A and B are shown apart, each in its own frame.
Chain A
Amino acid sequence: MAKAGDKSGGSGKKALKRKAATEEPQEAAVAEDGATESGVQPPKAAAFPPGFSISEIKNKQRRHLMFTRWKQQQRKEKLAAKKKLKKEREALGDKAPPKPVPKTIDNQRVYDETIVDPNDEEVAYDEATDEFASYFNRQTSPKILITTSDRPHGRTVRLCEQLSTVIPNSHVYYRRGLALKKIIPQCISRDFTDLIVINEDRKTPNGLILSHLPNGPTAHFKMSSVRLRKEIKRRGKDPTEHIPEIILNNFTTRLGHSIGRMFASLFPHNPQFIGRQVATFHNQRDYIFFRFHRYIFKSEKKVGIQELGPRFTLKLRSLQKGTFDSKYGEYEWVHKPREMDTSRRKFHL
């Protein structure tokens, strides 16, 4: 039959289609065939009920067939359109209009009024006199205490050890079931400037509490995608004792600035460029990616990097003013999923 032949030709060479094609002559719905044909080809005149869509076919196999055929048609049209556009661009040469920039979630980000303007004096004053002022004025140098939640397992312990090689002037202590509120005054009296607590759940580290010590803010992060050194492919040799450089990417809003400053105050001021080591905190879509690399300049513009050190991803849960006090402390920012995560294009850091 001409129709069957047409359909098998149009559907391509798949075996399924052959089976469906053989079933077709048994179907009596001529009107249906006609209607689906009208769906496949540009709309015919209204001989068939308009508003008919492929999803109204009750037979699953036939519906699937019609859909695959429609999909192939769409793909063909799309390819043809692309080729045409490419040809037109080549024909125009230099006079071709610039390529349209594809929309991504990052460049569709909703305008955030808290994005810091570098010329803003009020924000500059606020930052110059906040709790990190003593670090940024070079009056104090960082001394970090790294610990975990109680009774940590192997991964967490190893992560702490590796973190202490990455962060200079840091000490790891075993948390013998001590309360943080009791540890903090002791740290302050021993001149520690920051406290890092790695929280563990079911033998994997999943949280990070970073508390700036004299009376500074406490940030609570969710930690995910933790890779220890041996799990990193093509990594370099262990990091040396040189002080690394820091890269803080994309902390644009006021909250982002506070968190960025918190990370910056973990590392001493004077990076030793001889060591060629760099720690990167890259913020993208409210996730902060931590990486530790060693770089080497092969020429003026070409750099080779080797990933050393642990890698993990952080997401900010809350920023509390004052040292760790989750029950009675005042929060500067709390992440509320049902209120803040309503738009896919709105980010807070």
Chain B
Amino acid sequence: MAEAEAEWELCKENIQPLRGGRAMSALKEALTLQEEGGSAITQRQQAFETELRMYDGDDPLDVWDRYIKWTEQTFPQGGKESHFSVLLESAVKKFTEENKYYNDARYIDLWIKFADHCQEPLDIYRYMQAQGIGLMSSAFYIAWSEEYEKRGNFRNADSTFQEGLNCGAKPQDRLKQFHKALQARVTRQVMSGMGQESGVVDAMEMDMEEPNRKTLVELKALGKEKAVAPISRGSSITTHQPRRLQMKAPMAPLRNSRLMVFDENKKVAEPQDPKLESWMGPPSARAKENEQKPVKWTKAKLPKKTHAGLPVVIPAPAKPTFQPFVEECEQPPAVTPCKINPSMNSVLSARKPHREETPLKRVQDWQAQHQAAGAQAPGADSKPREQSMYCKELLFNGATEFCIEELRAMRYHQKHAQRLVASSSSSNSSPGDESAGASAASESCRAGPSSSGSSH
């Protein structure tokens, strides 16, 4: 046991923390499994994928819930093979229509995990509120106010708890307990703040007095050519400093802020969205690193070369050295303006315009589409609609796609297993057979198309 513990200690920085903490046994198992090689894990994944598509009962959320929980425990480092964010997004999207799950603790838990994965969790929580998801659950309000607290917005954190209490969220004791804890933290801060000499003065000024270079701010332009670091990280970090007292001026727009912090108290006329919710258009959820448009690096120009006897046209690059932040509404996209001779390179063809996609936007769009389809809105789409004549939902239900033959093979295996059970139970009639048979059937159906014997 000591060695297993030592092993965990060695790679603990690679283990992503979970909200609810990790079970030590599951963690150890996951780490040993990963060392041995991925096949046991892949088999289990396949089993889950099969179950997702074959499930016939009343509670499909159960399969998703178990799958996601297992993924979380088995992939402590996260990573692409876990398909975790894909799964989360699919699960969340799939049940947006199912009102019965709106106050199901498992579903709300999925949403909270989803929000954690997005860049702007606050938007997710607001969306949930607008849709009526989780309004009766204290976990929802607790998670939401935690987000506010992280950003130093104690007033909103407090009011979120109030809202929860007003709505009568259950369990109430838990809500009150967390509320009290928040209030305690706030008062402690105020007290410690009062104790210091500089008091509640904006702490930025404190740094100004020191002759050293400021930490975490914009880098000054260096050199003759005023080269600037392409991504300015300074501002976004300073806006998120925790424990920074902003009780005095919570609504003041932050300096150097490239993010427009949504303020619900301001009466902002929502420009777009004639659709369902009262707001739309959150900033991107996944970090898009190189958002800046390409610019000239140096003044040097390449001499015009000829290639295969044809002249190459090098276009002039974009003019501005920085792009002022524009909120992404219906912004026309980055169509590459190059006029590269197509005979040379078919890779760089003009990209078709596409909307900036964020997970939340995808969920909203999906829901909007479904509602439109349900309402049978004629002429809602300008382009002629196309209908795929195959069972799309079944094929693409999980994290990975299936082909039609895989689906059929799954069904074949399940039937085959049932036939085996039927023939074996008819030959011997012990009562314990039913459960043994059923589990054998489900085992072989879970074995699905790829594994010969699942290990679990």
Instruction: Decide if A and B are genuine partners.
Output: no
Q: Which residues does B use to contact A, with CB under 8 Å?
A: none
Q: Which residues does A use to contact B, with CB under 8 Å?
A: none
